[in-house]
Amino acid sequence: MLNNGTVLFAGGLSFSVFVTPSVEVFDPANGTFASAGALATARTYHTATRLNDGTVLITGGDTFSNPFEASVSELYSPATLVPPGVTAITVTPGNQTINIGSSVNFTASDNNGNPLASVTWVESDVSGTGVAQISNDATNSGVAVGLSTGTATIKACTGATCSLPVTITVQ
């Protein structure tokens, strides 16, 4: 899933015979597919990993010219990282105080109060070092863990649109 809530389909087999470089994006909100360019290297059986900045690392796989040796990796950069209509992001809950080793789950919503399916979470120490860590992992996105005493800020971003910072104090 991309940062804008759409799903990337990159490469693969066309008619079970030809390796394709095609890239398509599926929008689950309206159930449509749209062409989104092409990979530099046609491949199948590869991996695609969304990075924290919203780009996608595509690596490995099979080109069928060198079986299972697509040694070239590439970064796919989506045309947009922002869901349509998003002009602001709100993070909830607001400012939090937690103990070392405990966690808090933050969520992000758009300017209409709709939850955002995928954002990039950013943590910055205000006082102390390594105060908190917030996860961008799809299985626990938005979970912040208190690591050491101090204060940090948490923001949620999609493309260039970011929330106002929320303060997390770890004691």
pLDDT over 60 (residue 13): yes
In this predicted model, what pLDDT tens digit does every residue of 78-129 receive, in sequence order?
A: 766 666 678 899 999 999 999 999 999 999 998 888 888 678 889 999 988 8
Average pLDDT over residues 141-155: 94
Q: Show the domains of the chain with their CATH numbers.
A: 7-76 (no CATH), 89-170 (2.60.40.1080)
Q: What spatial distance separates the first Cα and last Cα of the chain, rounded to whole Å?
A: 35
Side-chain-facing half-sphere of 19: CA atoms under 13 Å: 17
pTM of the model: 0.60
